[in-house]
Amino acid sequence: MTEHTGRAPAAKPFLYVVVCAAGIAQDVGRLIAAAQERGWEVGVIATPQGLGFFDAEAVGARTGRPIRSAWRAPGEARPFPAPDAVAVAPATFNTVNKWAAGISDTLALGTLCEAYGLGVPIAVLPCVSDALAAHPAYRASLDRLRGMGVRFGDRYSGEPDADGRRAEFRWERVLDLLAART
């Protein structure tokens, strides 16, 4: 409660960060910190494979909530509030294609499939190699998801340039995409 108004302060908007099994996921703490600085409360949902790609204990400590990856048991309370927005970073080839196809066999995919129906903004930073991105299914998935209003940042291939340097993964871009008016 605030001293002046006697009313409870408004709750912060709740951001789901969906983390997939790409190498860059080891730095996802940067996204959590940036989101919190921008006023989001954050809950992390990792794919089952993605869970092994970052320090879940450290990230959980930063968000103040356990990392979710498995479905809750029937009758168990929902551990997170409903999302106000969803960020998918990094997004793998596998998850992008399954999401576009409407497959919901993990909590992360179920959350993504449902987010469209909830009408909340969704933004994605794909981390997909040039070779995988050439697959026609990937292009079709992007078209379908874009058609659903999902916002995409530039694809990060993770591959070194001619000088052997890897581009920076611009974590904050996903927050900018969520903030943008459409």
| Among 42, 112, 128, 150, contact with ligand FMN (rule: CB under 6 A) | 128
Selected from 56, 127, 142, 145, the binder of ligand FMN by CB under 6 A is 127
Query: Which of 13, 34, 60, 94 is the binder for ligand FMN (CB under 6 A)?
Result: 94
DSSP structure string for 104-115: --SHHHHHHHHH
The conformational region for residue 61 under phi > 0 = left, psi -120 to 50 = alpha, else beta, is alpha
Q: CB under 8 Å to 106, separation ≥6 — which residues?
A: 47, 48, 69
Instruction: Return d(Cα 79, Cα 73) in angstroms, integer.
Output: 11
Q: Which stretch binds ligand FMN (CB under 6 A): 5-13, 59-67, 79-87, 88-96?
A: 88-96
What residues pair up with 68 in beta bridges, in sequence order? 45
* Cβ at position 12, least distance to ligand FMN in Å: 27
Q: Which stretch binds ligand FMN (CB under 6 A): 30-38, 42-50, 142-150, 159-167?
A: 42-50
Cα–Cα distance for residue pair 125/137, rounded to 1 Å: 18
The least distance separating ligand FMN from the CB of residue 34, rounded to whole angstroms, comes to 20
- Which strand ranges, in their side-by-side order, compose the sheet holding 41-46? 41-46, 14-19, 85-91, 122-126, 151-152
Work out whether 23 is an interface residue with ligand FMN (CB under 6 A): yes
Q: Which is nearer to ligand FMN, 92 or 141 (CB)?
A: 92
Contacts to ligand FMN by CB under 6 A: 20-23, 47, 49-50, 92-95, 127-128, 132, 158
